[in-house]
Structure 1
Amino acid sequence: MKLQESMREELIRRAFGVLEYAYAPYSKFKVAAALLTKSGKIYTGCNIENAALSPGNCAERTAIFKAVSEGEKDFAAICIVNEDAQGNHDYCPPCGVCRQVMMEFCDPGEFTIILAKDEGDYQAHMLAELLPLGFGPGNLKKQTDDDLVD
């Protein structure tokens, strides 16, 4: 699915629009994401920190989990934005865990990841570029009854 410029702009706008909801009292590093499904719906997410650290969740996974919880499992693109404690924006690539979750639901050669500083300053990457030789559902062979019998 080729991403139209107008949709890229909309994803960037939507991601920046939910940045204010990020819950980052510890790191002061806010992250937000806007996820586009192949059916054309957009799901947003923000990072949610926790005092115990590991129960926190990244913006990308928040958006993906929201979509999956509503029955969507086919994704075309995601835009990721951030804001540091001084209000600055920079390119914010997804962490390894988020890349692995993307691999579960996305075609790595078709899924576009947009990293945006603002509406005019962005980078676009394919998941395959950011997660070369990624491990996904295709790597697991389906086990049959014949496989269980020696």
Structure 2
Amino acid sequence: MDDRELLAIAENIKKNSYSPYSNFRVGAAVLTQSGKTFAGVNVENASFGATICAERTAVFKAVSEGERKIVAVAITSDSDEYTFPCGICRQVLREFGDDGTRVICGNKSGEFKVFKLGELLPNAFFKF
């Protein structure tokens, strides 16, 4: 699957975002080593600590289905700027990915930039 296809999945699921507090809809899609894709959205809560980002939703869906290796993630929002994963999401992605995991950061115009996870989270903490 190419980067545009993965980003299109993220864009499509974004409509399901539950974001009444921030009004910042985010969609994400992860591609696993086996070739399966899993999509997720941000789900907010009145208790902000209970909120979960789209990237973690997608990763946790993959893990709950037995997938343990993420090779790429695409993230998009309604922003004119590129949407990057937050710090917590970067750490979760590192748990199931590696420094070479592709991170596709999109914007509302469908433009995107691709980074390696190691660029976005250098010197990551991970299990040994």
Asked if residue 134 in structure 1 is aligned to residue 103 in structure 2, the reply is no
Segments ≥4 residues shifted beyond 4 Å: none
Q: Pick one of 50, 66, 74 that aligns with 1:71.
A: 66
Find the aligned partners of 1:115 and 1:102 in 2 and give their Cα distance.
Answer: 14
Other structure's SS at 1:137 match: coil
What residue identity is the alignment partner of 2:43? I
TM-score normalised by L of structure 1: 0.81
Aligned length: 127
CA offset digits 1:89-134 (Å, max 9, x no partner): 42111111001111111111x2000001244x21100010000111
Q: CA deviation at 1:40?
A: 0.7
Other-structure match for 2:105: 115
Other-structure match for 2:28: 33
Q: Pick one of 63, 81, 85 that aligns with 1:94.
A: 85
Asked if residue 17 in structure 1 is aligned to residue 7 in structure 2, the reply is no
TM-score normalised by L of structure 2: 0.95
The share of aligned pairs that are identical, in percent, is 43
Other-structure match for 1:148: none
Other structure's SS at 2:95 match: helix
Other structure's SS at 2:81 match: coil
Q: CA deviation at 1:41?
A: 0.6
Find the aligned partners of 1:13 and 1:101 in 2 and give their Cα distance.
Answer: 22
Asked if residue 105 in structure 1 is aligned to residue 100 in structure 2, the reply is no
What residue identity is the alignment partner of 1:32? G
Q: CA deviation at 1:45?
A: 0.3
CA offset digits 1:23-42 (Å, max 9, x no partner): 00000001110100011111
* Structure 1: gaps of 5 or more residues: 1-5, 139-150
* Structure 2: gaps of 5 or more residues: none
Asked if residue 51 in structure 1 is aligned to residue 43 in structure 2, the reply is no
